[in-house]
Amino acid sequence: MKYIVVTGGVMSGLGKGITMASIGRILKNRGYNIVPIKIDPYINIDAGTMNPFQHGEVYVLGDGAEVDLDLGHYERFMDVELGREHNITTGIIYSAVIERERKGDYLGQTVQIIPHVTNEIKARIRSVAEKSGADVCLVEIGGTVGDIESMPFLEAVRQMQGEEDENDFLFVHVTLVPFTLLREPKTKPTQHSVKALRELGLQPDIIVCRCERALKEDVKAKIAMFCNVKKEAVISAPDAGDIYEVPLLLEQEGIAGYTMRKLQLTQLTEEDHEWAQMVERRRRSSEGKKISVALVGKYAELEDSYLSIKEAIKHAATELGCNVETKWIEAEDLEGVDGLDSFFEGVQGILVPGGFGVRGVEGKINAIEYAREHKIPFLGLCFGFQLAVIEAARNIAGLKDAHSSELCETPHPVIDLLEEQQGVEEKGGTMRLGDYEVFIRKDTLAERIFGKNKIVERHRHRYEVNPAYIERIESEGVIFSGTDRSGVRMEIVEMEEHPFFFATQFHPEFKSRPDNPSPPFKAFVEACLRE
């Protein structure tokens, strides 16, 4: 097994995840099987309870794991299906070690960071790598060098390097080369970052330099000299207009050749150029017809809160050869105002994404009502689906106080816990997380969109459409066109007499890929193009 470990320095958010995903894509293009692992040093067990304002979106894997958004990058770039074992957190490691200590597995030893915690980290990395049957295991260590919480993980990979053959281990360090106002690149942050890494016993093999513009050869030579790496191993990674261009930019810098020589890899197949062709299609689509889509969310200030939705829209636009501009609207801004025309002026579509909590709910409902009444293409996702049902119950079926029992007391809980969920106090106890089957009614918009009557999509919710209200709501031209196998849980809602009104209880954005867009997103963008 070959291992590539990606670390970062100077500041967070430099793009370690995109860098690792790009390296994985480059190796996959040469015929190698790849398995990625993301290490998050936070003490949370997973990302499920984390505030999107602080950490971006919670990405959901097929097995229901709630994980860091970087795993979404891995799945999209490398076209792989990942599971909970591919995300390791401090919380997971310490919980496992403490559980073993309580069981007596350490035979009375004093349990310490070294060797017990580091052994647990190494064992998990190797287990995932071996179980996958991959050729190369890529490991991203979150945070930055010097963070106290990442120390055990850095120590664990230092030990692993000594335990593996020297040609089986490669360290990639992502760092920042800022430019002054006079456009002079400064290498000191990179030098200090690598110095901190070397003090921990780790010597990077490759330094990926994040910068505004490409570095000149003399700057690369300076970094190579002070950081004890070969000049060809200093990779310039300037800002890209599109993240999917990054693998091609790194290729141009020679990262593939150096990586393969260091790990003694040979090209297994003729190089796959599909990625480059997809990037070219994306470039051409940016020159195509322009449309505007309003995204009404409660975390709109931080676009990474809706990262997978942004990417799914881009995937659909690439397929359709158009340029979609996203207009970000804070849901709370739509509450208590006279008319919404100014908010939606010039938009061809309205999208209401998921979210938890009561804040911004009425603003989202107002946006849905506006889309319905003004015949604007609408796409609702998860909570957006539930709010579309509430809006229909209030304004079409005449149930003026309709709401979700999750949010408030209401005489008409059109969104509620199902009978078998009642009395479960633990929030995650009845969450539907991950892949579930969805059965689609014939002769519906849903059937036309998906082209089949059974699909599997990823979920992240607890409350459901209350079966007691379905007949009342459907009598007014609302169609529940998708359900679970039992027919009790509603999964898709659409409306007659509307150019495009479609909402899903599941999250189709998590399965969208650059060369295979999610069907609901493609259909939504197509409808917007017709406006």
Quote the CA–CA distance of 49 and 133 in Å, as a whole number: 32
Is the domain of 422 the same as that of 380? Answer: yes
Instruction: Classify each residue of 205-243 as buried b or exposed e, where b means 16 or more C-beta atoms within 10 Å of its C-beta.
Output: bbbbbbbeebbeeebbebbbeebebeeebbbbbeeeeeb
Domain range for 79: 2-272
Quote the CA–CA distance of 337 and 335 in Å, as a whole number: 6
- Is 279 within a domain? no
Q: What backbone torsions phi and psi does residue 235 show, to the nearest 5 degrees?
A: -105, 125
- Is 390 within a domain? yes
- Is 282 within a domain? no
pLDDT of residue 424: 46
Beta-carbon count within 10 A of 25 CB:
23
Among residues 173, 382, 457, 461, the one annotated as catalytic is 382
Beta-carbon count within 10 A of 196 CB:
15
Mean pLDDT of the chain: 95
Is the domain of 463 the same as that of 345? Answer: yes
Quote the CA–CA distance of 320 and 314 in Å, as a whole number: 10
SS3 4: strand
pLDDT of residue 428: 43
Among residues 73, 173, 509, 528, the one annotated as catalytic is 509
User: Is-catalytic flag, 437?
Assistant: no
pLDDT of residue 427: 45
Is the domain of 114 the same as that of 205? Answer: yes
Q: What is the largest CA-CA distance in the chain?
A: 74
Q: Give the start-end residues of each E strand in 331-411.
A: 349-352, 378-381, 402-404
Is the domain of 257 the same as that of 375? Answer: no
Is the domain of 211 the same as that of 347? Answer: no
H or E element in which residue 18 lies: helix 16-29
CATH (domain of 115)? 3.40.50.300
* Domain termination residue (choose one: 272, 299, 325): 272
pLDDT of residue 420: 62
Is the domain of 446 the same as that of 471? Answer: yes
Q: Across-strand partners of 136?
A: 2, 34
The H helix count followed by the E strand count for the chain is: 18, 21
pLDDT of residue 422: 55
Query: DSSP state, 232?
Result: G
Q: What backbone torsions phi and psi does residue 464 show, to the nearest 5 degrees?
A: -130, 165
Q: How far apart are the first and last CA of the chain?
A: 53
Is the domain of 295 the same as that of 406? Answer: yes
Is the domain of 218 the same as that of 298? Answer: no
Is the CB of residue 307 less than 8 Å from the CB of residue 297?
no
| Encoded tokens for 332 | 């709370």
- Is 277 within a domain? no
pLDDT of residue 272: 84
Nearest to 222 by CA among 257, 173, 177: 177
Among residues 173, 412, 498, 507, the one annotated as catalytic is 507
Total tally of structural domains belonging to the chain: 2
Q: What is the pLDDT of residues 168-208, one digit of tens each?
A: 999 999 999 999 998 999 999 999 999 999 999 999 999 99
Rg (CA), the chain: 25
Nearest to 171 by CA among 348, 367, 16, 285: 16
Instruction: Classify each residue of 468-488 as buried b or exposed e, where b means 16 or more C-beta atoms within 10 Å of its C-beta.
Output: ebbebbeeeebbbbbbbeeee
- Is 280 within a domain? no
Is the CB of residue 97 less than 8 Å from the CB of residue 120?
yes
Is the CB of residue 96 less than 8 Å from the CB of residue 118?
no
Q: Which stretches of the chain score pLDDT less than 70? A: 420-430
Q: What is the pLDDT of residues 209-241, one digit of tens each?
A: 999 999 999 999 999 999 999 999 999 999 999
pLDDT of residue 296: 97
- Is 440 within a domain? yes
pLDDT of residue 219: 97
Is the domain of 237 the same as that of 295? Answer: no
CA triplet 295, 389, 523: central angle to 5 degrees? 50
Cα dihedral sign, 403-405-408-411: positive
pLDDT of residue 501: 98
- Is 184 within a domain? yes
* Domain termination residue (choose one: 239, 272, 305): 272
User: Is-catalytic flag, 382?
Assistant: yes
H or E element in which residue 171 lies: strand 169-176
